[in-house]
Structure 1
Amino acid sequence: MIDSTYKVRRYISEFCNHSDQLLAEYDLRSFDLHKFQNEFGVIDMKNPMFDCYPLHWSNIPFMKAYLSLEPEWDFVNKSYFVESQSIEEQN
């Protein structure tokens, strides 16, 4: 999803633990900054969460509400991160 407030794309990245290869990206269908800050322990409420935040099994119930297409979670062989990517405004 495109966060129009901050002009970023919000998504989950999926990496192979054995090769560090990017396997997939899953766009978030929505993003509630305050709820994500609480879920990921962000103390500074002014932090727009542009960093990379690792996902754990405990985050899955929370994330289900924000995913249209859910990964086949495999925390043994894969790693997952909540990320943002700057987008350029189109004229």
Structure 2
Amino acid sequence: PVARPQNCEKVPELKLVDDAYEAARDADALILVTEWNEFRQLDMHRIRDLMRGDVLLDGRNIWSPEKMREYGFRYFGVGRGTKRNGW
């Protein structure tokens, strides 16, 4: 399943883009909700550099929390415990 342009028309604030890097550009936060392999193989340095914010919510727990923190993300994995980090 992928987003269809006609579905996006129902929510004018939604913008359909071609790839994850375009989606990350100037984003305050990213939320991962799929386990597709293309998201496992992203250049996370590039993703972080493109973003305005630093919040990464991993709904599928496909990324290493420690590695994502090394990239500069405030990482939250759904169902994982967290250490206090100001939130």
> TM-score category by the smaller chain?
under 0.3
For normalisation by structure 1, the TM-score amounts to 0.23
- Structure (1 or 2) with the greater strand fraction: 1
Q: Would you tell me which structure has more helix in proportion to its own residues?
A: 2
TM-score by length of 2: 0.23
Task: Name the structure, 1 or 2, with higher relative contact order (CA <8 Å, separation 6+).
Answer: 1
